[in-house]
């Protein structure tokens, strides 16, 4: 029997997705909807197969192997797997430097 995980989108990842959709909607609402649908469809595989993504290479180079990513070009879905859940942490543009994006997010995070 396959294990079923909960898939939990963080506030940050939800905001990332909304920002992407809003940005694309300005030029093409139908394209924005298709991209939203594709991201949600691909991430639905996390319920049963969260290991399908690779370890984030930039973080792995630093010895951090806790985080994985699913590529939906040109986007990267960054997530973490726990015993019973998959936490979607960020949706980012793969053409950008992941270290810069993560640093920016850390700076904006309120403690």
10: in domain: yes
Residue closest to 46 by CA, chosen among 9, 1, 93, 98: 9
pLDDT tens digits for range 28-73? 999 999 999 999 999 999 999 999 999 988 888 888 899 999 999 9
Q: Which domain holds residue 45?
A: 6-108
C-alpha span between 19 and 45 (Å, rounded): 23
1: in domain: no
57: in domain: yes
Question: Which CATH number is 98's domain given?
Answer: 3.30.2310.20
pLDDT tens digits for range 65-92? 999 999 999 999 999 999 999 999 999 9
Strands (E), 11-84: 54-55, 67-72, 75-81
């Amino acid at each position: 029997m396959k294990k079923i995980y909960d898939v939990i989108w963080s506030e940050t990842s939800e905001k990332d997705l909304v920002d992407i959709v809003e940005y694309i909607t300005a030029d093409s609402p139908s394209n924005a909807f298709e991209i939203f649908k594709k991201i949600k469809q691909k991430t639905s595989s996390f319920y049963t197969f969260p290991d399908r993504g690779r370890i984030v290479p930039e973080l792995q180079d630093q010895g951090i192997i806790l985080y994985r990513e699913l590529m939906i070009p040109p986007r990267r879905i960054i997530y973490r797997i726990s015993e019973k859940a998959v936490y979607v942490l960020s949706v980012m543009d793969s053409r950008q430097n992941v270290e810069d994006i993560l640093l920016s997010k850390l700076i904006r995070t309120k403690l």
